[in-house]
A and B are shown apart, each in its own frame.
Chain A
Amino acid sequence: MLRKFAIAAAALSAAVVGVAFAAGEAEHPHDYPYSFDSPVGGYDMGQVQRGFQVYQQVCASCHGMDHLAYRHLGERGGPFAVYRVTNHETGEPELHVGQPAHGGTFVEVTDNPYVRAIAEAVIITDADPNSGQPADRPGRISDRFRSPFPNEIAARASNGGAYPVDLSVITLARHGGADYIRSLLAGYDGQTEGVLHHNPYFPGGWIAMPPPLVEGAVPYADGTATTVEQYATDVAAFLQWAGDPHMEQRKKTGLVVLAFLIVLAGLLYLAYKQVWRGESH
């Protein structure tokens, strides 16, 4: 009987690791108070813009976002949407990034200088219009976000066999959404094992992605602290916007629709009572 349960185990070497994390178990992400958490909360567009900067300068070297085009950045509800407002002192029209508190007319994305600049700063490999051969050209606003690798095989080959996933809908594709992304990016504890890095928020605890964010690596123009945590917070907000760009519109419409339905329900209730008055039931 004893033998049945007995295992003569070989000596344990110090190399046995990951004991604290049974496969699939991960620490619960921190609940960060994002502006979009509440049912009426929209995006903090300054934060989304900074997050885009972090994506562009850090994440984009390995991760694509195939479902996004540069024009999305400047469409209504996008972080670089531009509105034309009149300067009260000079009376001259000027451009304002983001919807002003009152007034302002939306500038179509084709006329948006910020989005154009962002797109043109990117080099896209395309067929040359004359020769048909692959050639580099500056990006256009209609281009999809530049893919860092031509295909999955190339991506794996450049990343030690691991595939940097597309980030278009990453906050929707992970439990915990933006909070998970934020906790993961700021959650590295410095342990490594071969090509794997330890991160308590990653299911299984070991992730192939090296810590991507370094303090001060992305300069912020608006004076926001350039810490790893701040970068993680901002880029998670950008990814949240990228996955759900119509959220603000949806929540606003929802408010009107629900208000309408509640009034309608009230009226229908009164009508129902009126119809059934005098009918026992």
Chain B
Amino acid sequence: MSGPSTYEPKTGFTRWLDKRLPIIRLGYDSFVAYPTPRNLNYWWTFGAMLSLCLAVQIITGIVLAMHYIPHVDEAFASVQRFKRDVSFGWLIQPIHAVGASMFFLAVYIHMFRGLYYGSYKAPREVLWILGCIIYLLMVVTGFLGYTLPWGQMSFWGATVITNILGAVPLVGESIQVWIRGGGAIDQPTLNRFFSLHYLLPFVIAGVVVLHIWALHESGQNNPTGVDVKSKADTVPFSPHATMKDLFATSLFLILFGVFVFYMPDALGHADNYIPANALQTPPEIVPEWYLLPFYAILRAVDFNVGPIDSKLGGVIAMFASIAVLFVLPWLDTSRVRSMRYRPIARQFFLIFVVVCIALGWCGGQNPGRLIVPATYNATLNWVQGGEVVEQPVQSAGEAGWDEAAAEAEEAMRAQGMTLVATTRTGASVGTVRGVRGGAPQSASVSAPSSDGLEEAITEAKEEHAAAAPYYMVERNIPGTFTVTNLSQVLTAYYFLFFLIILPLLGLRETPGRVPETIAKPVTTQTEGA
């Protein structure tokens, strides 16, 4: 793709070096003369931003590591000390924390771009897979890094994620203990997480080199998805792509700066400013925003499938949602790369983007939260006045309880008592109660939530507390649509998109007219204008 090298050493020294280590030639061929499709749009500038993000994270991270203490009693305080007392610590720590979010923002846009323009298709399958590996390493590194400040969310996030591994059959528990370095999250966990968090960015850097190598072997894809055919289709990487990347990166840095300087904590969770406490579970445990879609998929599986329980099912779904990306090049059967020329696929893609964002929203919500408002209502029946009668109930054995209770209640009703009910206090013992005489009363209450209904019932009971000791409460629980249900629908679409829509659509869809060359549409467009 890159063709024969056009580098010509000009000075005596470069000629001498070129014969021994052609490193200047490599740089020249890769980043100066490298032919770039001339029609690349701004979606192609995120690769540059990602390189910058990796560099920023590594540099700030190395400085942080000079001051950070990976000890359960010191970690939280060492981060505070860094921010308060170390020169520019107040700047470096937020850059690192916000930088993680910006890194993921850029990588998601980069991935969606690859999906839309078919950058994963031949001959770029390896390029795409290397990208997936980088993303996977980023997820792991981000998770490890989030545990290091040793706040409540660090600790409990680590607990939840390592618990997930315990769901794996047979070896799960061993893996869990192995990763934690013991039965629970503690000092050994923090130590190894710090070690790995320091290691993995350099692994990422290594895979990035392979990623760029693969890119330069197959050449960049472009918005038309058409292969480069002649020199007319390309421009040299420098200065054309470099300048465009630099301009887009400066805009990205402005966004980065707004967060670092004015909202350094907006993307984090307040609970992570509470030091880790193994004895106190936070009211909600949520990962950082960039992992929320996967968290939603994990929680969407709240049902058992045959021998697979819901926990393992969730883990399988979550890992499958990333694994499916690796095989995507062989799932999409369309011969047209760019969705620009695939009108139907484009609609499904846009829905897919919305689904991913919606999954992220779901991941941050209480799973039981109602999406569609529902009315919960209940009817209270009670007797004003009257005398309460209470009798013990005894059945012959545990199995005979239902029968004995029904019999006892029937006997009371036969005596004209109302509000008859039994309370079971043991395997075969209990009490039956009823009210003799009095005036039967009834009232209805309703509320928009289950908790609200219980409150309304309690309030209604309070009103009549003195005169009416017993109530019959008939609750009418409506069918509900919760965040979990929504997550299930969204998860289904996520997999449907990759496993059904892309394979079938590629065979059936009639694509639009694809231009013959990259140059043709852009040059005719300019001539016409």
Q: Which residues of A contact B (CB under 8 A)?
A: 2-3, 5-14, 16, 19-20, 22, 24, 39, 66-68, 72, 165-166, 168-169, 172-175, 203, 243, 245-246, 249-251, 253-255, 257-258, 261-262, 264-265, 268-269, 271-272, 275-276, 279-281
Chain A nearest CB, measured from B479 CB (Å): 16
B235 at the interface (CB under 8 A from A): yes
CB distance from B386 to the nearest CB of A (A): 13
Report yes or no: B458 in contact with A254, Cβ–Cβ below 8 A.
no
Interface size on B, residues (CB 8 A): 60
Task: Decide: B473 and A12 in contact? CB cutoff 8 A.
Answer: no
Provide the bound-state CA to CA distance between A245 and B90, in Å.
9
Q: With a CB–CB cut-off of 8 A, which chain A residues contact B94?
A: 250
| Contact between chains at A67 and B84 (CB < 8 Å) | yes
Interface locus among B155-163, B186-194, B255-263, B342-350: B255-263
Assess the A9–B283 pair: CB atoms within 8 A: no
Measured between C-beta atoms, what is the minimum distance from B152 to chain A in Å?
Answer: 9
Q: Are A172 and B473 in contact (CB under 8 A)?
A: no
Contact (Cβ within 8 A) A19 B459: yes
Whether B262 lies near A6 (C-beta < 8 A) is: no
A2 contact set on B, CB distance < 8 A: 472, 474
What are 14 A-B pairs at a CB distance below 8 A? A8-B421, A12-B461, A19-B455, A67-B80, A169-B273, A245-B90, A250-B91, A261-B257, A265-B247, A265-B254, A272-B244, A275-B243, A280-B38, A281-B38
Return chain B residues, CB-CB under 8 Å to A67: 77, 80-81, 84
Give the residues in chain B near A264, CB-CB below 8 Å.
250
Contact with A along B233-272 (1 / 0, CB 8 A): 0010001100110110011011001101110110000110
Q: What are the 9 tightest A-B residue pairs by CB atom distance, in nearest-first order?
A: A254-B261, A246-B90, A173-B273, A8-B421, A265-B250, A280-B526, A268-B247, A11-B469, A172-B273
B83 within 8 A of partner (CB): yes
Chain A proximity of B272: nearest CB distance (Å) = 8
Please indicate which of the listed interface residues B261, B458, B461, B473 has the most CB atoms of chain A within 10 Å of its own CB.
Answer: B261
At the interface, yes or no: B403 with Cβ under 8 Å from chain A?
no
Whole-angstrom distance between the Cβ of B173 and the nearest chain A Cβ:
32
State whether A9 and B470 are in contact (beta carbons under 8 Å apart), knowing that A254-B260, A257-B257, A272-B247 are contacts in the complex.
yes
Chain B residues within an 8 Å CB radius of A268: 243, 246-247, 250
New A-B pairs, 16, CB < 8 Å, besides A22-B455, A275-B240: A2-B474, A8-B419, A9-B473, A11-B470, A66-B77, A169-B273, A172-B273, A174-B270, A257-B257, A258-B254, A261-B253, A261-B257, A279-B38, A279-B235, A280-B522, A281-B40
Taking the complex as formed, is B441 at the interface, i.e. its CB lies under 8 A from any CB of chain A?
no
Measured CA separation A280–B525 after assembly (Å):
9
Q: Please determine whether B84 and A8 come into contact, CB atoms closer than 8 angstroms.
A: no
Instruction: Indicate whether B278 reaches chain A with its CB closer than 8 angstroms.
Output: no
C-alpha gap A271/B247 in the complex (Å) = 9
User: Which parts of B66-82 form the interface with A (CB within 8 Å)?
Assistant: 77, 80-81
In angstroms, Cα B87 to Cα A249, docked, is 12
Distance, CA A39 to CA B465, complexed state (A): 54
CA of A59 to CA of B341, assembled, Å:
67
**Residue contact A172 to B239, C-beta cutoff 8 Å:** no
CA distance A173 to B452 in the complex (A): 29
Collect the chain A residues with CB atoms within 8 Å of residue B253's CB: 261
